[in-house]
Structure 1
Amino acid sequence: MVIPDRKPYLDGLRGVAAVVVFIGHLLLSLFDAFWIFNGRAAVCIFFVLSGYVLADMIDRSKMSLPAHVLRRYVRLAGPMLLTSAFAWGLLAVGAYRNAQAAAVTGSQWLALWYQFEPSFSTMVWEAVYGAFITGTSAYNSNLWTMRPELIGSLFVFVIGSFSATRMWRAIFYIAMAIWFWSDYLMLFSVGALFFDFHSELCRLMKSTVVRVASLIAGLFFFIATERVLNRLNFPHIDMMKWQMLSAVLIVAVVLTWPFVQRLIGGAIGRTLGRISFTLYLIHLPIICSMTSWLVIKLPPTVAILASVTLTIVCVFGASLLLCRLVDEWPTMISRVAGTTVDAIVKSARDSFRQRYTAIMD
Structure 2
Amino acid sequence: MSAKLEHGSNRLFPLEAYRGIAAFIVLVHHFFLGFSPYTTGLLVRNQDSLVGQPFFALFNGTAAVGFFFTLSGFVLCWSYFNHESPQKLLLAFLKRFPRLAAIVTISTVASYCLFKLNFYYFHEASKLSLSPWLATFANGWKPEFEPSFWEALWQGMTTFFTGEVNYNTNLWTMKFEFFGSLIVFMLACFISAILEYRYLIYAFLVISISALFYNTFMLPFVAGTFLSVYLAKNKHEIPLHTSIALIIFGLYMLGYMIPEKSYAWASAIPDIMKVHTQTLLHTLGSACIIFATMSNQKVFKTLNGKFLRGIGKISFPLYLIHTLVICSLSSYVYVKLAAYGMSNTKSLIIVFIVTATTSIALAIPLSRFDDWWVKQVNAITRKLLKDKQLVQ
Question: RMSD between aligned alpha carbons?
Answer: 2.6
> Could you report, residue by residue, the CA deviation over 1:87-137 in whole angstroms, capped at 9, with x for unpaired residues?
1111121111112111111222111214422122222222211x2123222
1:322 alignment partner in structure 2: 366
Shift of 1:229: 5.3
Compared with structure 1, are the counterparts of its residues 331 and 199 closer, same or farther at alpha carbon in structure 2 (3 Å cutoff)? closer
The answer on 1:198 being equivalent to 2:242 is no
1:29 corresponds to which residue?
34
- 1:39 partnered with 2:61: yes
Give 2:197's aligned residue: 166
Picking from 136, 145, 148, the partner of 1:112 is 136
* One-letter amino acid of the structure 2 residue matched with residue 206 of structure 1: I
Q: SS of the counterpart of 1:314?
A: helix
Out of 108, 113, 127, the residue aligned to residue 103 of structure 1 is: 127
> Residue 235 of structure 1 aligns to which amino acid in structure 2?
A
SS of residue in 1 equivalent to 2:11: coil
**Which of 2, 5, 13 pairs up with 1:8?**
13
Deviations 1:124-172 (CA, angstroms, capped at 9, x unpaired): 222211x212322221111111112111221222333463332377776
Aligned residues: 344
Which of the numbers 293, 301, 315 marks the counterpart of 1:262? 301
Partners of 1:194 and 1:201 within 8 A in 2? no
Return closer, same or farther for 1:56/1:66 CA change in 2, 3 Å cut-off. Answer: closer
Structure 1 residues 186 and 230 mapped into 2: Cα distance closer, same or farther (>3 Å)?
Answer: closer
CA shift, 1:344, in A, is 4.5
After TM superposition, give the deviation of residue 320 of structure 1 in Å: 1.6
Partner secondary structure for residue 77 of structure 2: helix
Match of 1:217 in 2: 249
Structure-2 separation of matches of 1:199 and 1:66: 19
Quick one: structure 1 residues 246 and 112, their matched pair in 2 at CA, closer, same or farther if it must change by over 3 Å? farther
Helix, strand or coil for the counterpart of 2:217? coil
Partner residue in 1 for 2:388: 345
Q: Tell me, in whole angstroms, the C-alpha distance in 1 between the residues paired with 2:76 and 2:266.
A: 38
After superposition, the Cα gap between the structure-2 partners of 1:87 and 1:4, relative to the gap in structure 1 and judged at 3 Å, is farther
Cα 1:64–1:274 shift into 2, 3 Å: closer
Residues 331-359 of structure 1: CA distance to partner in whole angstroms, max 9, x if unpaired?
A: 122213322331343245x1xxxxxxxxx
Instruction: Trace 1:165-184 onto structure 2 (pairs within 5 A).
Output: 165-167=196-198, 175-182=206-213, 183-184=216-217
CA distance in 2, matches of 1:120, 1:73: 21
| Alignment match, 1:353 | none
- The percent identity for this pair of structures is 27
Q: 2 CA distance for matches of 1:311 and 1:189? A: 34
Runs of 4+ in 1 over 4 A off after TM superposition: 64-67, 168-175, 199-203
Report SS of the residue matched to 1:63.
helix
Partner SS state of residue 197, structure 1: helix
Equivalent residue, structure 1, for 2:25: 20
Q: Give the corresponding residue for 2:101.
A: 77
Which has the higher mean CA deviation after the structures are superposed, 302-311 or 22-31?
302-311
Q: Counterpart of 1:17 in structure 2: which amino acid? A: A
Q: CA contact under 8 A between 2:223 and 2:283: conserved in structure 1? A: no
CA distance in 1, matches of 2:201, 2:283: 20
Match of 1:122 among 138, 148, 151: 151
Question: Which stretch has the larger CA shift, 209-218 or 49-58?
Answer: 209-218
Which region of structure 1 is more displaced relative to structure 2, 213-222 or 288-297? 213-222
Q: Where does residue 138 of structure 1 map in the other structure?
A: 166
Q: CA deviation at 1:23?
A: 1.4
Deviations 1:159-199 (A, max 9, x none): 33463332377776554323112422222222222222116
The equivalent position to 1:271 in structure 2, one of 278, 303, 310, is 310
- One-letter code aligned to 1:239: Q
Residue-by-residue CA offset, 1:2-53 (whole Å, 9 max, x unaligned): x952122112111111111111111221111324541121111211221221
SS in 2 for 1:137: coil
* Closer/same/farther in 2, CA of residues 316 and 143 from structure 1, 3 Å limit: same
Which deviates more from structure 2 when the two are superposed, residues 307-316 or residues 242-251? 242-251
Q: Which residue of 2 aligns with 1:355?
A: none
**Which 5+ residue runs of structure 2 have no aligned equivalent?**
1-7, 43-50
Once the two structures are overlaid, the 10-residue window that deviates more, 333-342 or 84-93, is 333-342
Q: 1:92: which partner in 2? A: 116
Helix, strand or coil at the partner of 1:109: helix
1:282 maps to: 321
- What code does the residue aligned with 1:323 have? S
Between the aligned partners of 1:201 and 1:184, the Cα distance in structure 2 is 27
1:231, 1:169 → 2: CA distance? 33
- TM (norm. structure 1) is 0.86
